[in-house]
Amino acid sequence: MSYLFLSCTKKIYENSVLKLEYLNGLHNQKNYRVVSHQKKMMLHIHAVQEGQPERKQVEAFISTKYQEMHKATLSHFSSTLFVGEFQHQTQVAIGIEPLKSHQAFLEQYLVQPIEQTLTKMIQRDVAREKIIEIGNLASQNMEYAKMIVAFLVFYLTVAEVEWAVCTGTIAVRYVLQQMGLHFHVLEKANPEVLGEAKKQWGNYYQQKPLVLAINVADALAVTQQHYDFKGNHAAISGGSL
């Protein structure tokens, strides 16, 4: 069994530490631990795939949060969900969808495929397999949301993902802004493209969702201004491991 421990020390707060623990290597591990000493908070994070027994429980947690916040009834979940737990209680969940062979949910809002939209924006080719869609963020509070987003920055860096895209409400954009993460606004999320399905989303679209794109390397660079990432086998530095 191989282990990699990544400790992240927040530079702007004294004695503030965020620690990520990767078990069984980086590309096949299922369990992670995130610790924030500054906030005295800890998360045990693990991936939940489609078909796993725990999947319905995680989807129910996400659905409940969307119902509470937006009166929405979800019918779409990312293929991979990450769930963060503290004292065996689910505190936060988030999903990712690789786009190499999948259409992004947010592409309904765009006039062309996401890789073409990004290519046009930055004026250089972006490969579709280097893009991941983030979705299904549901959290008990903002601090847990920030912790799992920080985790994803490190995770996507290791996975050599270049761009993360998502549909971000006012609340999601606030979380990103509080973390100092820059995002590009690609388009407004127009509920009319959903047809009758828009009724399932309750008041979600009153939260002014926008289609956002985040450059993973840029996100890591910003995060590194506040965290040090060190490991006993390797260290994340400049987007490489």
pLDDT digits (tens, 9 = 90+) for 95-151: 999 999 999 999 999 999 999 999 999 999 999 999 999 999 999 999 899 989 988
* Whether the predicted pLDDT of 38 surpasses 60: no
**Euclidean distance between CA atoms 58 and 81, whole angstroms:** 8
Write out the two tokens for 23.
């078990």
Q: How far is CA 149 from CA 92, 128, 224, in A?
A: 10, 22, 14
3-state secondary structure of 84: strand
In a 10 Å sphere around its CB, with 0-12 CB exposed, 13-18 middle and 19+ buried, how is residue 124 labelled? exposed
Write out the two tokens for 118.
């990004």
Neighbours of 133 (CB within 10 A): 22
* Whether the predicted pLDDT of 154 surpasses 70: yes
CATH architecture of the domain with range 3-230: 3-Layer(aba) Sandwich (3.40)
Of 222, 220, 198, 196, whose CA–CA distance to 209 is shortest?
198
Write out the two tokens for 230.
């060190």
pTM: 0.82
Task: Indicate the helix (H) or strand (E) that contains 118.
Answer: helix 114-122
